[in-house]
Structure 1
Amino acid sequence: MKKYIYLLTVVLAMTSCTDELNQLPLSQGTIENFYATSGDFVQARNATYSVAFHGMGTYGYANRVLNLSEVRSDNLLATTQASRDWEGINSFYTSISSNTYVKEAYLSNYNAINKANQLLEKIAEKGDQIFTNPADKASMIAEARFLRAFCYFDLLRWFGRVPLMEKTMTATEAAKIPRTPVVDVYKLIISDLEQAIPDLAPSYDAANYGRVTKYGAKALLGLVYMTRSSPTYNIDGATLGLNEWDKAYQQLNDIKLSGLYAFAADYEPIFKVEGITNKENVLTIPYTQSLPLAVGGNFMVELGYEPYFASVNLSAQGALEAKPISTGFLNLFAETDKRKIYGIATSYTVATGTYKGSYTLPVFKKYIDATRYGNGREDWGVDFMVTRYTDVLMLMAECTLHGGGGSQAEVDDIVNKVRTRAGVPANASNITLDDLFTERRKEFFSEGTRWFDLIRSGKAVTTMNAWKAAEDTEGKIRTIENNSLLYPIPLSEILAVPGLYDQNPGYD
Structure 2
Amino acid sequence: MYKFAILPLLFLSLTSCEDELNLAPISEVGSNGFFTNAGDFEQAVNGIYASLGVTGGGDYPSMYVILDESRSDNIYSPGNAGVRDWNAINNFLPTIATLGTVERAWNIGFNGIMRANTVLDELAANGGVIGDGGLATRFEAEARFLRAFYYFDLVKWYGRVPLIETFVTPDEALEIARSPVEDVYALIIADLEYAIANLPAAHSGLDKGRATSLAARGILARVYLTRSGPVLHSEGPCLASGEYDKAAALLDDIISSNQFGMVDDYGAIFDYDNEGNAEIVWDIQFISGGVGAGGYYPTEYYDEGWARVNLPFAGGNPGDGSKRVSQDLLNSYEEGDLRVAETFLLNYVNDNGETVDAQFFDKYTDVAKAGGDRFDWSLNYPIIRYTDVLLLRAEATLQGASGTQESVDAVVNAVRQRAGLDEISGVTLDVLLEERRREFAGENLRWDDLVRTGRVVDVMNDFIATEDDNDKMQTVTTDDIIYPVPQQQLDVKQGLYSQNPGY
Whether TM exceeds 0.5 here: the answer is yes
Q: 1:51 and 2:38 equivalent? A: no
After TM superposition, the structure 1 stretch with the greater mean CA deviation from structure 2, 180-189 or 267-276, is 267-276
Q: Please give the TM-score of this superposition, normalised by the length of structure 2.
A: 0.95
2:384 to 387, 390, 394: 387
What residue is the counterpart of 2:42 in the other structure?
A: 42
In 1, Cα distance between the equivalents of 2:11 and 2:91? 41
Which whole-Å deviations, capped at 9, do the CAs of 1:71-103 have from their partners, x for residues lacking one?
000111111133111111100111111111111
**Amino acid of the residue matched to residue 21 of structure 1?**
L
Query: Which residue, out of 460, 466, 489, partners 1:464?
Result: 460
Instruction: Please state how far the C-alpha of 1:202 moved relative to its aligned partner.
Output: 0.9
Give the TM-score normalised by structure 1: 0.94
What is the CA distance between 1:134 and its match in structure 2?
A: 1.3
Residue 61 of structure 1, CA deviation = 2.2
Which range moves more in the overlay, 97-106 or 13-22? Answer: 13-22
Match of 1:97 in 2: 97
Counterpart in the other structure of 2:429: 433
Alignment partner, residue 506 of structure 1? 502
Quick one: distance in 2 between partners of 1:270 and 1:276? 8
SS of 2:402 mapped into structure 1: coil
> Any conservation in 1 of the 2:287–2:378 contact (CA below 8 Å)?
yes
Q: How does 1:303-322 map to 2 (within 5 A)?
A: 303-321=301-319, 322=322
Letter in 1 for 2:315: Q
2:485 to 468, 484, 489: 489
- What is the Cα deviation at residue 361 of structure 1? 2.7
Question: Is the contact made by 1:162 and 1:181 (CA closer than 8 Å) also made in structure 2?
Answer: yes
The residue that corresponds to 2:340 in the other structure is: 340
In the aligned structure 1, how far is the partner of 2:490 from the partner of 2:141? Answer: 33
Structure 2 CA distance for partners of 1:55 and 1:159, relative to 1, 3 Å: farther
Partner of 1:151 in structure 2?
Answer: 150
SS class of match (2:35): coil
Return the letter of the residue paired with 1:337: D
Give 3-state SS (helix, strand or coil) of 2:341's partner: helix
Q: Give ranges in structure 2 of 5+ residues lacking alignment.
A: none
Match of 2:383, SS? strand
- The aligned residue for residue 398 of structure 1 is 395
Deviation of 1:24 after TM superposition, in Å, equals 2.6
Partner-residue secondary structure (3-state), 1:97: helix
Q: Does 1:365 align with 2:362?
A: yes
AA in 2 matched with 1:408: Q
Contact 1:311–1:348 (CA<8 Å) still a contact in 2? no
C-alpha deviation, 1:25, in angstroms? 1.4
Is contact 2:52-2:284 (8 Å) kept?
no
Shift of 1:17: 2.6
Distance 1:200 1:496 in 2: 38
Structure 1 spans left out of the alignment, 5+ residues: none
CA contact (8 A) 2:302 2:316 kept: no
Is the aligned partner of 1:286 residue 2:285? yes
Q: Which amino acid aligns with 1:135?
A: G
Deviations 1:337-372 (A, max 9, x none): 11111111122224xx3x532122311111111122
Q: Are the structure 2 counterparts of residues 274 and 256 from structure 1 closer, same or farther at C-alpha, using a change threshold of 3 Å?
A: farther
Instruction: Give the AA of the match of 1:336.
Output: G
CA separation in 2, counterparts of 1:314 and 1:340? 26
Q: Which of 442, 446, 453 is residue 450 of structure 1 equivalent to?
A: 446
| C-alpha distance 313-56 of structure 1, shift in aligned 2 (>3 A) | closer
Q: What one-letter code is carried by the residue in structure 2 that aligns with 1:282?
A: V
CA contact 1:161–1:179 (8 Å) conserved in 2: yes
Return the alpha-carbon distance in structure 1 between the equivalents of residues 86 and 403 of structure 2. Answer: 40
Q: Which residue of 299, 307, 314 corresponds with 1:301? A: 299
Using the TM superposition, name which of 461-470 and 314-323 deviates more: 314-323
Amino acid in structure 2 at the alignment position of 1:491: Q
What is the SS of the residue equivalent to 1:362?
strand
| Residue 349, structure 1, aligned to residue 345, structure 2 | no
Partner of 1:24: 26
Counterpart residue type for residue 225 of structure 1: Y
Give the Cα separation in 1 of the matches to 2:177 and 2:397: 38
AA at the equivalent of 1:175: L
CA RMSD after TM alignment = 1.8
Contact 1:79 1:476 in 2 (8 A): yes
Counterpart residue identity of residue 490, structure 1: P
What is the CA distance between 1:6 and its match in structure 2? 4.2
**Which stretch shifts more, 435-444 or 307-316?**
307-316
The residue identity in structure 2 corresponding to 1:39 is: G
Shift of 1:406: 1.8
Aligned residue type for 2:296:
N
Greater Cα shift, 305-314 or 440-449:
305-314
